């Protein structure tokens, strides 16, 4: 077992972290996660760092799962990793407009427990993306960020789908 | 301050002033003048002193010493210590002490006054020593102990001692010993668990620490013991800190566990050990991401390790509880343990099947108070701690309160194994079962026994049925007692017609053999088939479903969709898909979109050879590019999917920055561009002012 670092020691800001020894750990971890993601290339999800100089910022792409309102639709997300990752959760947002009970339409913020209080260092980019993908088909309507969407999901699937398509923007360059 | 003024001060302070013979007083006071170098007193001075009241002189002298010290000696000491040399400082301290004390002692006054003056002096010196001197002295001692050259330390130690600075000096020496021992233990023994550190440490203590110490000071036996205890505690603290890793490294780390067992002397250390292990294991082991099997392996290692540390099992009892509670929540715990007990080849804990064979005596008689060697459980034992000695299997079974879950799982495993058995050969399974009888009661094993018996009985029945007719060919059956077997999971599907005919015929014969009984068929068991393809013949042992599935392809060269197949088999699409993926994996079928077709010839066909003949040169270059850059295709694809259109420059820069030891990127930009253009030709990418993934 490697030495377990106490998370409290790691509350550095991004820049510091990138230089310090912990920053090296973040870089290594993210590099190996990227490698793992590339090797397995799970269908419908994908992610990549936005620039070769900063591995803490990634873009991701999620394709809606089959037999859901989001089937065949593709959405862009942004992933931002803190300097003490994986001891703290990355910040993840939808960049594409997203009509979904647990996503704030305006800001793209996502309400998902594993990205907040249930975060654990065993999660990685791949599990996050898979969780997000399944969130599309199984929203948690108990704590919606978009109550209108939550309401429609239960009562009027047809209008729901219409709304999804209304806000959907295909990814262009 | 001149003599006169000082005298006035003293006069003011002293009530006995009027009684003092002023001449004798003057003589003595001249002698005691602190601005002079101390010389031995003359006879005259001694006589003068004898005529005076020693208490008055002493109290006058004490206050003179006090003010003189603060004015002169204090700054001197402070200034000295800035030179970073403890030896010089010790000399100065000595000079200061002599300066104030010697002239008084030479007067031969009452010994109580001497002692009082000495104490006052030591107190003044100690207060004047700046804070860093403590660290410096400690460092000097550390150096002395480690370098085995304690000459200077010895001098300093004895000076301080003579000057009455025992407490100060001893506390420095103690922290020096502590520091030396702790850093030696950490540096020499950290992560070295494959040999005993204890003996080595004791040798080092005796030969290095004790020998240096006894040169510096006279060691008493109690102090010797204290040094030994200190070493033990330091080693215990190190091993406690590493405990989880040590447990993980079993059995190579056994010497480290022996160390721990030898050094774990106090209840506090025992508590530390338990708490450290609990917190480390809850961080590293008891979490969602760890496979159940790994937790079971660690649980076994924990048991072995803590038994070694403390055979009585009190500590084990405390550390194992959380792991047991956690394992109870995992749904696959039982099946994994049973797989181990039944010695399944793919189970990494199959070695526990060895220990199963040993009879386990369930001897939990409680406390036997007639036993003269009886001792109470230690204070840290849990209230419900029982000292029964359980082996590994016992402890694994102990995870759950009742054995029922295991019995159920064992009969499930046995059922599926028995149904796969060919030729009714149950010997291996029977002997495995026999071993389990040591652990479970006969009543609990009853259904398992009946299942074995059923299969043996089926053999006789089957032989009889085959005797009376030979048109049943290779069709055999297991006749099972429904009441004792676990209910068989069955997805409905249709067996091929000729099999159904055989079943019917078999059933008729059976009813003739055993009147008033009827067979109800289940589509489980195993089928030996051999597939004749154009270029090869393959033999398989498969399930009846898989066999029925492949049989559908017997007469047709065309492919079939899953819909057609599931319709023909009369089963759900999901069931058909399971069978299909088996045959695709075996390389008998190939999936093209939704269509499954038979692979009549294996892949290395003549097409490839022809291609090679036609275009040797370009193929080589393309192949080379594929070899060197193929591994990066997923990277390129992910990069372009997530970042949009990118020029070759950016892609090249990205790949270079992501290059790692396992996956090095060595291509030049030109090679990359050639490869990217190849991908464009293959319609994987498109190019327009930058590359982009084609949708």
Given an 8 Å threshold on Cβ–Cβ distance, is A35 in contact with B642? no
pLDDT at A77: 93
Question: What sign for the dihedral angle of Cα B352, B354, B355, B359?
Answer: positive
Kindly state the greatest CA–CA separation across chain B.
148
Q: B151 CB contacts (<8 Å, ≥6 apart)?
A: B144
Nearest CA in chain B to A41: B634
Q: In angstroms, rounded to a whole number, what is the distance separating the alpha carbons of residues B685 and B677?
A: 8
Identified catalytic residue from A26, A103, A111, A136: A111
Q: Quick one: pLDDT band at residue B473, thresholds 50, 70, 90?
A: low
Given an 8 Å threshold on Cβ–Cβ distance, is A48 in contact with B662? no
* DSSP notation for B124-138: HHHHHS-THHHHHHH
Given an 8 Å threshold on Cβ–Cβ distance, is A46 in contact with B641? yes
Measure Cα distances from B536 to A115, B308, B541, B600, B601 in Å. 54, 58, 17, 8, 8
Strands, E assignment, chain A: 45-49, 57-63, 74-80, 91-94
Tokens of residue B443, six digits: 């009543």
Flag whether residue A52 sits within 8 Å of chain B, measured between CB atoms. yes
A123 catalytically annotated: no
How far does the CA of residue B648 sit from the closest CA of chain A (Å)? 14
Nearest CB to A38; choose among B287, B638, B656: B638
Under 8 Å between Cβ of B432 and B343: yes
Given an 8 Å threshold on Cβ–Cβ distance, is A61 in contact with B641? yes
Given an 8 Å threshold on Cβ–Cβ distance, is A52 in contact with B645? no
Question: What sign for the dihedral angle of Cα B338, B344, B348, B350?
Answer: positive
Flag whether residue A50 sits within 8 Å of chain B, measured between CB atoms. yes
Average of per-residue pLDDT across B541-559: 81
CA B687 to chain centre: 52
Average of per-residue pLDDT across B550-555: 80
Q: What are residue B538's DSSP bridge partners?
A: B531
Q: In angstroms, rounded to a whole number, what is the distance separating the alpha carbons of residues B460 and B465?
A: 9
**Residue B377: inside a domain:** no
Q: Tell the residue number behind the tokens 């400690």, with chain if given.
A: B138
Instruction: Write out chain B residues lying below 8 Å of A1, CB-based.
Output: 244-245, 248, 284
Under 8 Å between Cβ of A45 and A62: yes
Nearest CB to B644; choose among A34, A41, A173: A173
Question: What sign for the dihedral angle of Cα B307, B309, B310, B311?
Answer: positive
Instruction: Write out chain A residues lying below 8 Å of B280, CB-based.
Output: 4
Given an 8 Å threshold on Cβ–Cβ distance, is A41 in contact with B657? no
- Residue B676 or residue B468, greater confidence: B676
Percent of chain B with pLDDT over 70: 86
Nearest CB to B692; choose among A31, A47, A173: A173
Q: In angstroms, rounded to a whole number, what is the distance separating the alpha carbons of residues B569 and B468?
A: 32
Measure Cα distances from B638 to A61, B341, B565, B621, B674 in Å. 9, 46, 37, 25, 19
Q: In angstroms, rounded to a whole number, what is the distance separating the alpha carbons of residues B500 and B523?
A: 10
Select from B130, B150, B173 the last residue of a domain: B130
Q: B477 CB contacts (<8 Å, ≥6 apart)?
A: B458, B462, B506, B519
Q: B96 CB contacts (<8 Å, ≥6 apart)?
A: B69, B73, B76, B77, B121, B125
pLDDT at B345: 67
How far does the CA of residue B635 sit from the closest CA of chain A (Å)? 6
Question: Radius of gyration over alpha carbons of chain B, in Å?
Answer: 46
Helix H or strand E segment including B541: strand B537-542
Given an 8 Å threshold on Cβ–Cβ distance, is A60 in contact with B642? yes
How many of the other CB atoms lie within 10 Å of CB of A13? 10
Question: Radius of gyration over alpha carbons of chain A, in Å?
Answer: 17
Nearest CA in chain B to A5: B283
How far does the CA of residue A39 sit from the closest CA of chain B (Å)? 7
Flag whether residue A120 sits within 8 Å of chain B, measured between CB atoms. yes
Q: Is A121 helix (H, G, I), strand (E, B) or coil?
A: coil
* Closest C-alpha among B474, B408, B421, B476 to residue B452: B421
Indicate the number of domains in chain B: 5
Average of per-residue pLDDT across B527-542: 81
pLDDT at A79: 94
Long-range contacts of B610-613 (CB under 8 A, 24+ apart): none
Select from B206, B241, B276 the last residue of a domain: B241
Instruction: Write out chain A residues lying below 8 Å of B634, CB-based.
Output: 38-39, 41
Average of per-residue pLDDT across B547-567: 80
pLDDT per residue, tens digit, chain A (173 aa), is: 344 444 443 333 333 334 445 556 788 888 888 888 888 778 889 999 998 888 899 999 999 988 888 988 999 999 999 988 888 899 999 999 999 999 998 899 998 888 888 888 888 898 899 899 989 988 888 888 888 888 888 888 889 999 899 888 888 76
Given an 8 Å threshold on Cβ–Cβ distance, is B288 in contact with A120? yes
Nearest CB to B634; choose among A38, A53, A120: A38
pLDDT at B389: 59
**Residue B419: inside a domain:** yes
pLDDT in tens, B32-78: 888 777 778 888 888 888 878 888 888 888 888 888 888 888 877 77
Given an 8 Å threshold on Cβ–Cβ distance, is A173 in contact with B658? no
Domain match, B126 and B13 both: yes
Nearest CA in chain A to B244: A1
Does B676 score more than 80 pLDDT?
yes
Instruction: Write out chain B residues lying below 8 Å of A172, CB-based.
Output: 644
Flag whether residue A41 sits within 8 Å of chain B, measured between CB atoms. yes
Nearest CA in chain B to A34: B635
- Would you give the DSSP letter of residue B511? H
How far does the CA of residue A145 sit from the closest CA of chain B (Å)? 26
Nearest CA in chain B to A33: B658
Percent of chain B with pLDDT over 90: 0
Q: Count chain A–chain B contacts defined by CB atoms under 8 A.
A: 60
Under 8 Å between Cβ of B43 and B89: no
Domain match, B476 and B559 both: no
pLDDT in tens, B95-121: 888 888 888 888 887 888 888 888 888
Q: In angstroms, rounded to a whole number, what is the distance separating the alpha carbons of residues B123 and B503?
A: 107
Q: Tell the residue number behind the tokens 């948690």, with chain if given.
A: A140
Domain match, B39 and B143 both: no
Q: What are residue A79's DSSP bridge partners?
A: A58, A92
**HEC readout, B199-251:** HHHHHHHHHHHHHHHHHHCCCCHHHHHHHHHHHHHHHHHHHHHCHHHHHHCCC
Measure Cα distances from B582 to B211, B213, B416, B545, B588 in Å. 74, 76, 19, 11, 9
Flag whether residue A4 sits within 8 Å of chain B, measured between CB atoms. yes
**Residue B250: inside a domain:** no
**Residue B499: inside a domain:** yes
Flag whether residue A113 sits within 8 Å of chain B, measured between CB atoms. no
Select from B513, B537, B566 the last residue of a domain: B513
Given an 8 Å threshold on Cβ–Cβ distance, is B663 in contact with A35? yes
Length of chain A: 173
Q: B390 CB contacts (<8 Å, ≥6 apart)?
A: B360, B398
Q: Domain with B675 in it: what CATH number?
A: 1.10.10.10
Given an 8 Å threshold on Cβ–Cβ distance, is A48 in contact with B244? no
Torsion of Cα atoms, A114 then A120 then A125 then A127, to 10°: -60
Average of per-residue pLDDT across B623-649: 85
Nearest CB to B657; choose among A48, A52, A60: A52
Given an 8 Å threshold on Cβ–Cβ distance, is B638 in contact with A120? no
- Would you give the DSSP letter of residue A71? B
pLDDT at A49: 92
Q: In angstroms, rounded to a whole number, what is the distance separating the alpha carbons of residues B351 and B304?
A: 14
Nearest CA in chain B to A78: B642
Nearest CB to A1; choose among B284, B645, B658: B284
Find the domain containing B29 and state its range.
Answer: 3-130
* DSSP notation for B275-313: HHHHHHHHHHTSSTTS-HHHHHHHHHHHHHHHHHH-TT-
Instruction: Write out chain A residues lying below 8 Å of B635, CB-based.
Output: 38, 48
Instruction: Write out chain A residues lying below 8 Å of B654, CB-based.
Output: 49, 52
Strand arrangement, sheet containing A74-80: A45-49, A57-63, A74-80, A91-94
Given an 8 Å threshold on Cβ–Cβ distance, is B642 in contact with A61? yes
* Closest C-alpha among A28, A2, A19, A1 to residue A85: A28
Does B526 score more than 70 pLDDT?
yes
Helix H or strand E segment including B687: strand B685-687
Instruction: Write out chain A residues lying below 8 Å of B663, CB-based.
Output: 35
Instruction: Write out chain A residues lying below 8 Å of B248, CB-based.
Output: 1
Give, in degrees to the nearest 5, the angle at Cα B666 between B664 and B670.
145
Given an 8 Å threshold on Cβ–Cβ distance, is B288 in contact with A122? yes
**Residue B278: inside a domain:** no
Instruction: Write out chain A residues lying below 8 Å of B644, CB-based.
Output: 171-173
Under 8 Å between Cβ of B46 and B107: yes
Given an 8 Å threshold on Cβ–Cβ distance, is A50 in contact with B662? no
Assigned CATH topology for domain A13-167: Ubiquitin Conjugating Enzyme (3.10.110)
Under 8 Å between Cβ of B170 and B160: no
pLDDT in tens, B280-307: 888 888 877 778 888 888 888 888 888 8
Q: In angstroms, rounded to a whole number, what is the distance separating the alpha carbons of residues B412 and B406?
A: 10
* DSSP notation for B266-279: SHHHHHHHHHHHHH
How far does the CA of residue A59 sit from the closest CA of chain B (Å)? 6
**Pairing between strand A57-63 and A45-49?**
antiparallel
Domain match, B9 and B110 both: yes
Domain match, B640 and B568 both: no
Average of per-residue pLDDT across B470-476: 71
Domain coordinates in residue numbering, chain A: 13-167
Nearest CA in chain A to B286: A122
Under 8 Å between Cβ of B459 and B424: yes
Nearest CB to B244; choose among A1, A39, A60: A1
Tokens of residue B384, six digits: 């419900």
Q: In angstroms, rounded to a whole number, what is the distance separating the alpha carbons of residues B81 and B132?
A: 8
pLDDT at A14: 39
Does B226 score more than 60 pLDDT?
yes
For chain B, list residues whose CB is within 8 angstroms of any CB belonging to chain A.
Answer: 244-245, 248, 280, 283-284, 287-289, 634-635, 637-639, 641-645, 650, 653-654, 656-658, 660, 662-663, 692
Torsion of Cα atoms, B432 then B436 then B441 then B445, to 10°: -40
- Would you give the DSSP letter of residue B471? T
Measure Cα distances from A127 to A47, A58, B376 in Å. 12, 15, 51
Q: A44 CB contacts (<8 Å, ≥6 apart)?
A: A62, A63, A64, A65, A133
Nearest CB to A48; choose among B283, B642, B663: B642
- Would you give the DSSP letter of residue B646? B
Under 8 Å between Cβ of B386 and B364: yes
* DSSP notation for B406-467: HHHHHHHHHHHHHHH-STT--HHHHHHHHHHTTTS-TTTTHHHHHHHHHHHHHHHHHHHHHH
Interface test with A, best of B279, B641, B646, B651 (most A CBs within 10 A): B641
Averaged pLDDT of chain B? 78
């Amino acid at each position: 077992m490697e030495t377990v670092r106490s998370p409290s020691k790691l509350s550095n800001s991004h820049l510091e972290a990138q230089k310090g020894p912990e920053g090296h750990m973040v870089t290594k971890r993210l590099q190996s996660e990227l490698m793992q993601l590339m090797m397995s290339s799970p269908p419908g999800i994908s992610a990549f760092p936005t620039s070769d100089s900063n591995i803490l910022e990634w873009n991701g792409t999620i394709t809606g799962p089959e037999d859901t309102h989001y089937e065949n639709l593709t959405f862009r997300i942004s992933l931002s990793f803190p300097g003490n990752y994986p001891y703290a959760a990355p910040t993840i947002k939808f960049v594409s407009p997203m009509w979904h009970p647990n996503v704030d339409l305006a800001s793209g913020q996502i309400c998902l427990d594993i990205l907040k209080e249930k975060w654990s260092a065993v999660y990685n980019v791949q599990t996050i993306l898979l969780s997000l993908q399944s969130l599309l088909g199984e929203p948690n309507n108990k704590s919606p960020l978009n109550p209108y969407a939550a309401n429609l999901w239960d009562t009027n699937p047809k209008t729901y789908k219409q709304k999804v398509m209304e806000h959907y923007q295909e990814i262009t360059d | 301050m001149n003599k006169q003024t000082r005298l006035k001060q003293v006069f003011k302070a002293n009530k006995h002033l009027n009684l003092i013979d002023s001449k004798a007083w003057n003589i003595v006071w001249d002698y005691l003048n602190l601005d002079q170098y101390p010389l031995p007193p003359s006879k005259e001075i001694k006589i003068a002193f004898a005529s005076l009241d020693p208490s008055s002189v002493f109290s006058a002298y004490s206050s003179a010493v006090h003010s003189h010290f603060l004015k002169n000696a204090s700054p001197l000491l402070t200034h000295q210590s800035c030179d970073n040399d403890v030896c010089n400082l010790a000399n100065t301290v000595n000079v200061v002490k002599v300066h104030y004390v010697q002239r008084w002692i030479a007067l031969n006054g009452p010994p109580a006054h001497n002692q009082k003056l000495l104490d006052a002096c030591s107190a003044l010196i100690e207060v004047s020593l700046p804070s860093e001197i403590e660290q410096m002295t400690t460092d000097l001692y550390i150096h002395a102990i480690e370098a085995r050259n304690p000459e200077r330390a010895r001098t300093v130690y004895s000076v301080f001692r003579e000057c009455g600075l025992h407490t100060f000096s001893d506390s420095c020496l103690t922290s020096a010993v502590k520091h030396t021992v702790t850093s030696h233990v950490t540096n020499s023994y950290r992560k070295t668990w494959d040999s005993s550190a204890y003996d080595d440490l004791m040798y080092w203590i005796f030969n290095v620490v004790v020998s240096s110490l006894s040169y510096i000071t006279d060691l008493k036996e109690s102090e010797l013991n204290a040094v030994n205890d200190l070493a033990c505690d330091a080693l215990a603290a190190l091993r406690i800190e590493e405990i989880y890793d040590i447990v993980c490294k079993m059995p190579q780390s056994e010497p480290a566990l022996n160390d721990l067992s030898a050094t774990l002397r106090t209840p506090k250390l025992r508590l530390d050990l338990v708490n450290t292990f609990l917190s480390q294991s809850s961080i590293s082991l008891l979490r969602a991401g760890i496979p159940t099997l790994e937790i079971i392996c660690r649980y076994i290692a924990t048991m072995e390790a803590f038994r070694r540390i403390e055979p009585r099992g009190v500590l084990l009892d405390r550390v194992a509880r959380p792991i047991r509670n956690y394992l109870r929540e995992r749904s696959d715990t039982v099946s994994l343990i049973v797989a181990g007990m039944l010695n399944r080849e793919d189970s990494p804990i199959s070695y526990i099947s060895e220990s199963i064979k040993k009879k386990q005596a369930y001897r939990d008689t409680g406390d036997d108070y007639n036993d003269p060697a009886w001792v109470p459980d230690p204070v840290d034992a849990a209230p419900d701690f029982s000292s029964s000695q359980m082996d590994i299997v016992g402890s694994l079974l102990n995870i759950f309160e009742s054995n029922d879950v295991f019995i159920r799982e064992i009969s499930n495993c046995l059922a599926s194994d028995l149904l796969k058995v060919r030729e009714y050969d149950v010997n291996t399974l029977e002997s495995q079962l026999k071993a389990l009888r040591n652990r479970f009661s006969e009543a609990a094993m009853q259904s398992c026994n009946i299942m074995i018996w059923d299969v043996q009985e089926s053999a006789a029945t089957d032989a009889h049925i085959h005797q009376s007719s030979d048109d049943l060919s290779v069709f055999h059956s297991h006749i099972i007692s429904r009441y004792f077997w676990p209910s068989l999971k069955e997805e409905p599907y249709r067996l091929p017609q000729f099999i159904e005919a055989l079943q019917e015929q078999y059933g008729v014969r059976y009813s003739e053999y055993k009147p008033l009984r009827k067979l109800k068929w289940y589509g489980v068991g195993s089928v030996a088939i051999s597939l004749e393809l154009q270029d090869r013949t393959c033999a398989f042992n498969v399930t009846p479903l898989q066999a029925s599935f492949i049989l559908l392809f017997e007469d047709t060269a065309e492919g079939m969709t899953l819909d057609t197949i599931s319709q023909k088999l009369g089963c759900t699409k999901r069931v058909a898909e399971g069978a299909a993926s088996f045959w695709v994996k075996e390389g008998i079928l190939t999936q093209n979109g939704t269509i499954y077709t038979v692979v009549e010839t294996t892949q290395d066909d003549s097409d490839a050879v022809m291609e090679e003949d036609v275009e040797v040169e370009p193929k080589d270059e393309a192949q080379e590019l594929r070899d060197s850059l193929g591994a990066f295709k997923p990277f390129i694809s992910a990069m372009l999917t997530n970042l949009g259109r990118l020029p070759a420059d950016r892609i090249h820069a990205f790949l270079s920055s992501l290059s790692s030891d396992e996956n090095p990127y060595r291509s030049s930009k030109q090679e990359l561009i050639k490869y990217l253009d190849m991908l464009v030709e293959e319609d994987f990418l498109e190019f327009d002012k930058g590359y982009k993934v084609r949708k």
